[in-house]
Structure 1
Amino acid sequence: MNDEALALTPDLLLRERQLVVNGVRLHLVEAGPEDGPLVLLLHGFPEFWRAWERQLGPLARAGFRVVAPDLRGYNLSEKPPGVDAYRVGALQEDVAALIRALGHARARVVGHDWGGIVAWALALRQPEVVERLVILNAPHPAAFRRVARKPAQWRRSWYIFFFQLPWLPERLLPSFGRWALRGTNPRAYTEEERRRYQEAWARPGAATAMINYYRAMLRPRGRRGPEAPTGAGTPPPIRVPTLVLWGERDVALLPELAGGLERWVPGVQVVRFPGASHWVMRDEPVRVNNLLLKFLSDQAGPDFVPSSDP
């Protein structure tokens, strides 16, 4: 597929194309100068590249080469069959291969929700390709294991177990998706944006592929049991500069998941948003954008903003 032009706003023209990486065809949009520092924006469930509509313009205008892919299985990207195709290892390799296919050795990686889980895995397994890391409402794997057994987190994670059922989750995905995309800001999602999401969910094979991310989490893999995002045992420390942005009114994840990360991520900076939901980049786009612009710049130091953790 040749590059195509897509206008997000009157003053922002996106380049739209598809690349085959790690054996899978990924659709992506790109903005900003092609010789600028590469920033990858990785969306989560149940979104696609348009999750970052509020961030693409500001980052591109600041001189970054901003690339927002549809992760495998989503929207216009390829949808490989089978649960094993959606294990974290494969997803992380997609991103590493995409960085190389774009002509870069390293990238500044920003991930939300499942995109954040993939970004954590990338920084743990292939830190040499991550220049800076930003995580939005996605738990570090060790932090999640720490709280996963708490009843309060079980209650918030109910949908993960529901998604293990055959066919029914696919049938109910449109209703679940509309329920899930609820920000604390009434302008978080417009009706036109919600319509575009419904179109993406309705693409052939998309519902099963999206839900297979969760099935792969709990599906045994031979004698090793369910796949952990970074394997068994204590993960190695992440030593790339890392910023965590956390909306504390998240209905799926406990706020404490953003605490105590220094144990696994030395020097991590954590900024909490008390009034924001899981969709923090939609609820508070101006503040999120300002933090991204400062942290992703070459001039940002490790203590560019004080941590809000006690």
Structure 2
Amino acid sequence: MNEFEHRMLAVNGIQLSLYSCGPLDGRPVWLLHGFPECWHSWQHQMRALAAAGYRVFAPEMRGYGQSSAPEAVDAYDVLTLCADIQAAMDVLGHERVAMVGHDWGAPVAWHLALLEPERIEALVTLSVPFAGRPKRPAVEIMREVFAGRFFYILYFQQPGVAEAELDADIALSLRHFLGDNVRLAPDQTPDTPLFAHSPPPPEHPAWCSAEDFQWYVRTFAGRGLRGALNWYRNFERTWQRTEPLAGRKVEQPTLFLIGDRDPVGRFESYTLQRMPEHVPHLEQHTLENCGHWIQNQQPARVNALLLDFLGRHYGA
């Protein structure tokens, strides 16, 4: 893995682990991973972007890998996560960047675009759409929609509950998550463990090798998923803190990609419909026969769309 350089940055009160590659004089492209992923989930994009002349930066986000994982639940709201990346860009002297985010990395990227309309020159998000600040915290809506039923995000809300199940066997938990996340909203009671009725998962996801899967396992080994789960426990705090952003549109050229088999497309169907109102310069593609782990399930297609978009809106 010598092709990827690693360093630790002291930013925003934490240590941020950062991997990079590509020519030192290349235009910077940031890649923000989601849950329960790792910087290595971008390996295919990092190589393709570097080969195209870009300088690529893939952090281990707060709570993941070698980056700090503060104890306080309220240390993981979206604006705090954005501040980690903003401070890192300051340290590196980045005045103009392209920002890319998948899964939970997408909301961070969306909000960075709102907060940094000059510095974020081009935006690419995968799997999680954006339609402005909701009228109330999303978790309140989830509690109403899924009243009396199981929903994984609600299961994650009480600190310690999900950790007790998921940390007991991290490799097994990741095999479940990454192998078939369609079962994240199964027909079970709210107090049932997440994977209680799931069949045994494969030894590793079909879209990665056993060696690649170990990068995900090492991300959580020795620390568990607490920090990563805390991202889910900040819907209300994020909603409160983003009041100044209410009504603001994402004005940058934006590429949005989603798989046609991604369950997020079902959960967020209303947001997907409204997105063009809030993202006026939007280019959107749905990848056929593709699930949630889009950049690994169809790396060649994602890379082609990503490089074409950056070539038109950001340059090499």
What is the aligned partner in structure 1 of residue 214 from structure 2?
Answer: 195
What is the aligned partner in structure 2 of residue 82 from structure 1?
Answer: 72
SS in structure 2 of the partner of residue 81 of structure 1: coil
What is the aligned partner in structure 2 of residue 275 from structure 1?
Answer: 289
Q: Partner amino acid for 1:241? A: P
**Aligned CA distance change for structure 1 residues 67 and 157 (closer, same or farther; 3 Å):** farther
* Equivalent residue for 1:29, pick from 10, 15, 19: 19
**Aligned CA distance change for structure 1 residues 253 and 130 (closer, same or farther; 3 Å):** same
**Aligned CA distance change for structure 1 residues 249 and 151 (closer, same or farther; 3 Å):** farther
Contact map agreement 2:62 2:69 (CA 8 A) in 1: yes
Which stretch has the larger CA shift, 93-102 or 151-160?
151-160
Match runs of 1:209-220 below 5 Å: 209-218=227-236
Contact map agreement 2:258 2:265 (CA 8 A) in 1: no
- Structure 1: distance between partners of 2:178 and 2:19: 22
- Structure 1: distance between partners of 2:310 and 2:262: 25
- Structure 2: distance between partners of 1:150 and 1:166: 18
What is the aligned partner in structure 2 of residue 266 from structure 1?
Answer: 280
**Aligned CA distance change for structure 1 residues 282 and 145 (closer, same or farther; 3 Å):** farther
Match runs of 1:76-225 below 5 Å: 76-142=66-132, 149=141, 154=146, 158-173=151-166, 174=170, 175-182=172-179, 187-204=206-223, 206-218=224-236, 221=237
CA shift digits 1:245-289 (9 cap, x unpaired): 011211244262433322001120110113111111111100100
**Aligned CA distance change for structure 1 residues 273 and 128 (closer, same or farther; 3 Å):** same
- Structure 2: distance between partners of 1:264 and 1:73: 30
**Aligned CA distance change for structure 1 residues 121 and 228 (closer, same or farther; 3 Å):** farther
The sequence identity of aligned pairs, in percent, is: 38
- Structure 2: distance between partners of 1:119 and 1:238: 11
Which stretch has the larger CA shift, 22-31 or 193-202?
193-202
Which stretch has the larger CA shift, 23-32 or 177-186?
177-186
What is the aligned partner in structure 1 of residue 299 from structure 2?
Answer: 285
Q: Partner amino acid for 1:212? A: N
What is the aligned partner in structure 2 of residue 307 from structure 1?
Answer: none
- Structure with greater contact order relative to length (CA < 8 Å, sep ≥ 6): 2
Deviation at 1:151, TM superposition (A): 9.8
**Aligned CA distance change for structure 1 residues 178 and 60 (closer, same or farther; 3 Å):** same
- Structure 2: distance between partners of 1:153 and 1:250: 20
Q: Partner amino acid for 2:157? A: Q
**Aligned CA distance change for structure 1 residues 150 and 90 (closer, same or farther; 3 Å):** closer
SS in structure 2 of the partner of residue 128 of structure 1: coil
- Structure 2: distance between partners of 1:18 and 1:258: 36
Deviation at 1:196, TM superposition (A): 2.5
SS in structure 1 of the partner of residue 123 of structure 2: strand
Deviation at 1:125, TM superposition (A): 2.0
SS in structure 2 of the partner of residue 266 of structure 1: coil
CA shift digits 1:81-138 (9 cap, x unpaired): 2011101110011111111211211210000011101001111122222010000011
- Structure 2: distance between partners of 1:248 and 1:134: 18
**Aligned CA distance change for structure 1 residues 130 and 233 (closer, same or farther; 3 Å):** closer
Structure 2: where are the runs of 5+ without partners?
182-203
- Structure 2: distance between partners of 1:157 and 1:60: 43
**Aligned CA distance change for structure 1 residues 123 and 153 (closer, same or farther; 3 Å):** farther
SS in structure 2 of the partner of residue 101 of structure 1: helix
Contact map agreement 1:111 1:134 (CA 8 A) in 2: yes
1:227 aligns with 2:227: no
- Structure 2: distance between partners of 1:164 and 1:250: 23
How many equivalent residue pairs? 283
* Equivalent residue for 1:249, pick from 215, 239, 261: 261
**Aligned CA distance change for structure 1 residues 160 and 114 (closer, same or farther; 3 Å):** same
**Aligned CA distance change for structure 1 residues 14 and 195 (closer, same or farther; 3 Å):** closer
Which stretch has the larger CA shift, 113-122 or 93-102?
93-102
